[in-house]
Amino acid sequence: LIMFKMSNMTIKDKLILIIMLVSLSALVLTAFILLGFVHVTFRNSMVQDILTDADMAADNCNVALAFRNIEDVEKTLTSLKSKSSIVFGGVYTTNGENFAEYYRDDIDSSVRPAQLKKDGYYFENGFLTVFKSIVLDDEKIGMLCIRSDLIPLHEIFKNSTAVITIVLLLALLMAYFLSARLQKIISVSILKLAEVAKVVSEKKDYSTRAIKQSNDEIGLLIDAFNEMLEQIQQRDSTLVNTNEKLSTEIAKRKKAKKALEKLNKDLESTVWELMRANQQLRDFTHITAHDLKTPLRGISTLANWISTDYSDVLDVRGKKNLTMLIKRVQRMYHLIDSILEYSNIIRIKEKEQEVDLNALLAEVIHEIEAPENVQISIDNNLPAVVCDKELMMRVFENLLSNAVKHAGKPRGQIKVNCEQENNFWRFSVIDNGLGIEEKYFKKIFQMFQTLSTQEGFESSGVGLSVVKKIVELYGGKIWVESKGGQGSTFSFTLPKHKERVKDEKLQSSTVG
């Protein structure tokens, strides 16, 4: 309990308490020893006094006892009165009979000892009793008994207890004052240290230092504390520096972020503008193409009319020119259709579904109506992909019809295969035709680019660019590989999963 209570005390009080407890126990021990010493000493001196009294009385009354002179014996006994502590004196004959007695005035006969004992002193019943033989000429002729109360002993004990208690209290008081002053030797440095620690923790001022006043353990503690403070101070300053750097960095980054955001916004608006421009362009293309078709149809109809109605009027050269006109018009018609088709890709692309490419390719091959000398083989089972069926059909239609056109003569061979490549399907259309020179690898995918304008290679120059656009629309790539005279391989990839939608707008716009 004491330990618990002590733990809540200040060091000052603890020190005082400890000193007081130690002083108290030392003083109490001393007091007890002193009291015991006083008691024993006084007891011995009291015994000596009574023994002397007994010796004297026994010697004084021996003759009177021998002559049985009761008055004289009584006189001797009465002289014991001078010692106020003596309550009883008695003289007995050798056969133990009572010869004379003395009682102190305030005492009755009950103090008389019950029986005689051997010479000596006895502490019993609260009395000091002395027995002494009465001897005359070496012959024992009787017995003397003296009884004393222990009041002097008690008195001395009481007085010395009082004195010792007072001394003890004074010593304790002095110990208190001394300890109250001397505890400062220890507590002051600790309290100062605590104060410094408090200042440090409250004001966060790590430049404060505790002052060392002694070379004891507290001095060591203060040294260690100061050293700790120094380290903290160093760390604190580096921390502050780092913090400052960090905050400027953060400010910079914020600024950069703002700039980036602004840039993004600008970009967005640019993109939006671009998209609008693109859309307008597309619409314009569509409308223009569409509008061009009407007068073209008129021209074509008129040319046909002229050809049929005035065939007999026209000479050979006129007929030949008219036929060329009709062909050119048709070709232009075709061209406009292709442009319309190209511009329609985005509009069509909305409807997506899972498409079985096996069925799709069968349909495509059927529609192409390849000549008999061209053989088309499909290598392995094709997967099903999620896409717009019409667009996908146009991809294969274009690639296959392109391959059929350029297939080798007299026997053309075309292969379609599909392989897995990471997250993509890679489709290849391989022909055994003349092949393409490397310098045209990119050019062929651009609009209105045909490599040969020979008769029989009827091409609008739009097909491959449409394919490229569709493939890229679905997040794939298209490229061609070829070695002169050994045919060419058109390959394109499609992602297995539908992730391409993200960049759809951007891609569609960049192509335009």
Q: In the complex, which residues of this chain contact other proteins (CB under 8 A)?
A: 60, 62-64, 66-72, 93-95, 97-99, 136-139
The number of angstroms, rounded, from the C-alpha of 42 to the middle of its chain's C-alpha atoms is 78
Q: How far apart are CA 185 and CA 15, in angstroms?
A: 10
CB count, 10 Å around CB of 82? 8
Q: How far apart are CA 472 and CA 388, in angstroms?
A: 14
Number of residues that make up the chain: 512
Rounded to the nearest whole angstrom, what is the least distance from the CB of residue 60 to other proteins in the complex?
A: 7
For other proteins, the closer of residues 98 and 446 by Cβ is: 98
Counting runs of H as helices and runs of E as strands, what totals does the chain give?
Answer: 12, 12
For other proteins, the closer of residues 136 and 191 by Cβ is: 136
For other proteins, the closer of residues 96 and 298 by Cβ is: 96
Q: How far apart are CA 298 and CA 293, in angstroms?
A: 9
Residue 327 corresponds to which amino acid? K
Task: Please provide residue 476's backbone torsions phi and psi, each rounded to the nearest 5 degrees.
Answer: -105, -175
Rounded to the nearest whole angstrom, what is the least distance from the CB of residue 45 to other proteins in the complex?
A: 29
Rounded to the nearest whole angstrom, what is the least distance from the CB of residue 31 to other proteins in the complex?
A: 49
What token pair was written down for 379? Answer: 């290598």
For other proteins, the closer of residues 36 and 96 by Cβ is: 96
End-to-end CA gap in the chain: 92
Among residues 101, 115, 111, 102, which one has the least CA distance to residue 150?
Answer: 111
For other proteins, the closer of residues 89 and 152 by Cβ is: 89
For other proteins, the closer of residues 135 and 287 by Cβ is: 135
For other proteins, the closer of residues 136 and 332 by Cβ is: 136
Cβ-based neighbours of 456, under 8 Å, separated by 6 or more: none
Rounded to the nearest whole angstrom, what is the least distance from the CB of residue 56 to other proteins in the complex?
A: 12
Rounded to the nearest whole angstrom, what is the least distance from the CB of residue 136 to other proteins in the complex?
A: 5
Rounded to the nearest whole angstrom, what is the least distance from the CB of residue 113 to other proteins in the complex?
A: 18
Rounded to the nearest whole angstrom, what is the least distance from the CB of residue 79 to other proteins in the complex?
A: 13
Q: Maximum CA pair distance of the chain?
A: 215
For other proteins, the closer of residues 72 and 341 by Cβ is: 72
Cβ-based neighbours of 102, under 8 Å, separated by 6 or more: 74, 77, 78, 80, 81, 88, 89, 90
Which secondary-structure segment (H or E) carries 144? strand 139-149
